[in-house]
Structures are given as C-alpha cells and as structure tokens.
Amino acid sequence: MHAMILLGGPGSGKGTAAEMIRKSTDYVHISTGDMLRAAITDGSPIGREAEKYIADGELVPDDVIVRIVDERLDEGGKGDAYIFDGFPRTLSQAELLDRSFEARDGNIRHVFYLKAPNDVLIMRLTGRRICRTCGANYHIVNVPPKQKGVCDVCGGELYRRADDEESTIGHRLDVYEDQTRDLIAYYEKRGVLVPVEASTTPKATMDVIMVTLEACES
C-alpha cells in the first residue's frame, strides 16, 4: 500500500488535481472534506459533530478525521494506492497517518505542495460552484457550466459551499497557514516534499505531478 498527499491552501486545486490523477491511474481519491460534507448530508453522528467546525472555517478534531480515514483505508481499493486531499492538515494528523500506514505496511511516497498566492485562492473560492448531485466542480469564470447553475455532467443543481463565503474564506486561509507550516517542514525533512506551482491551470499542475510519479515508477 502506498500514497501521495496533496497539500495546499483552500482553492489551491487539490480536489481538481486528485480527480484528474484518479481518472488516469489506479489511485483512490480520499478527500476528508468531501467525506465530511457527505456525512453532514446524511445526518450521521460524524456529520453532526463536524458541521459546526466546518461552518466556522475551523478544523474538525483529529479523532473524527482519523476515524473516517481509517474506515476508508479498511475498505481498500483497486491498486491499494491512495491520494490524500485535505488530509493531513496538522502535524498531529501526519503522525497519526504514519502510525496508520506503519500498521498496514504502507509508505507515503510523495507530498505535493500546491502553491498559489492568496489573491488567486480567494478568486477561485469565491467563484467555485459544486454539483449537489455528482460533486463536479465548476468556476463561474474559469470553468463555467454550459447553463448557469446546472451541472454539465448530470444536470444537477450547482451550489456555493457555505464556507466559500467571503466572511469565512479569510479565516480558513489563516487556519491553513497556521497549521501547515509544521507539516511542510515535517515532510521536507523526510525528503518527500515536491513543491508545485499551482497558480496557472489544472493541467499544468497535473503535468508536474505525473512527471514525478512516472519518474518514480521507471
């Protein structure tokens, strides 16, 4: 079992890159944000616990996050290869992930650090729209749907995440910067950190990631 981690601020394109990689490889995409939003929609106990933190732009407690990640890892996947998107977010989550992987004889091969300036992140977050039915991502300027408010893939309704409101975004960016500084140093020291310029197009980000993955496999 092995994994890559996508690190980067909200709006850095982790979800988009993860989906592009998933479609062209055997990697399973694990997004803690998506899993938490699904739990909220289902009204499950985890969803009820997480809801308040997400609405305030705060991090959900580590024990909740590690529980959902472990449950997902136990389900397995095709190639037993995973892309973590939005996890780990803190040094303590990274240490818990290490323990989880040690117990499963796994290793973390790459940590891609998607870097983009805050003004780019803010522009992407305020324009982001998501399909309520299939989860496809759009941007009102960069990736507009053919018909306003309607998903091209499934015809579902597009919505704006509550935590993508201007009032929450600033706080989310602060929380991100605060929590990930140590995380970046942690993976840098281990020699697995790969910085990726992520302020241009999803394809450019994806190309850098794929070159690294292919170099590792050859």
Whether 22 is catalytic? no
Whether 172 is catalytic? yes
Q: By the 8 A CB rule, do 82 and 109 touch?
A: no
Edge to edge, the sheet with strand 128-131 lists 137-139, 128-131, 158-159
Site string for ligand AMP, 33-72 (x = CB under 6 A): x--x----------------xx--xxxx----x-------
CB of 53 to ligand AMP, least distance (A): 5
Instruction: Find, among 23, 24, 30, the residue nearest to 1 by Cα.
Output: 30
Confirm or reject binding of residue 10 to ligand AMP (CB under 6 A). yes
Number of residues that bind ligand AMP (CB under 6 A): 17
Token digits for 68? 């959902």
From the candidates 37, 89, 124, 129, which is the catalytic residue? Answer: 89
Distance (Å, whole) CA 78 – CA 57 = 33
> Cα 149–150–155 angle (5° rounding)?
160
Confirm or reject binding of residue 29 to ligand AMP (CB under 6 A). no
Q: By the 8 A CB rule, do 110 and 213 touch?
A: yes
**Dihedral, CA atoms, 121, 123, 126, 129, nearest 10 degrees?**
-90
From 18-26, 30-38, 94-102, 148-156, give the range in contact with ligand AMP by CB under 6 A: 30-38
Q: Which of residues 100-139 bind ligand AMP (CB under 6 A)?
A: none
Query: Which residue lies nearer to ligand AMP by CB, 61 or 155?
Result: 61
CB of 124 to ligand AMP, least distance (A): 12
Whether 181 is catalytic? no
Task: State the residues that interact with ligand AMP by CB under 6 A.
Answer: 10, 32-33, 36, 53-54, 57-60, 65, 86-87, 89, 93, 163, 172
